[in-house]
Structure 1
């Protein structure tokens, strides 16, 4: 069965339940996650959250799959092979951790949907209600405007 075959229809009345906002819902999500694709990951030289947040998650035991938007010459980040599109990542993706400006998010929706992750996490300062609704209606859990590292630390991870 394909991912598209198991996705709820756009008329799904329960899509709002996939917009995760409570500490309990976020903790439950992070408890299920094993593999995180990081869209917009940066290189160590950047010294930006788009590098040190996934590095923290990796040290906490999560598998990180780098999907940078820039750095076309880079083939490895955090010791892991780089992919240029989420849809090109082999195997299942539990969570897409997004480091992109809100205005850039709509351009990534088709790639996110093609990859079929269980959840999408928009980092602190990143929110886009229309994109979040589109993903939630497709059966994908969405967290907006929260730092993954802060949430992991709050859980003692």
Structure 2
């Protein structure tokens, strides 16, 4: 991998961390990558997005039902927050926490408003991570988790 490419990848990761999209958990996942599993983080993120789509759909349906079951909503969001935490998705986690506070207060409008933010942060991070992994793949083998060590 050329030096400029590696630097661009490091800069992109630093930007995601500095802007609060990701936290230390993401870096720890990258440290688990090795020659036997060079795409570990990308696979984790892909699994997260596949599973989170189902949870987001469940939350959306629960928000549309009347009366709203705030306990069920809180449980769904708790699962979603845990999944987000597993990949270091900091901004998503923060919105999940706020949503759960609205559930506790039985504030439907707050839940609906915050759910929009959860989905927005979720989608924004997905786009940014897709760009990051695309850049890593362009760098060739050992471009992913080996960067920044």
Q: TM-score range by the shorter chain?
A: under 0.3
If you compute each CA radius of gyration, which structure gives the higher value, 1 or 2?
2
Q: Going by fraction, where is helix more abundant, 1 or 2?
A: 2
Higher RCO structure, 1 or 2 (CA under 8 Å, sep 6+): 2
TM-score normalised according to structure 1 size: 0.27
Structure 1 or 2: larger strand share? 1
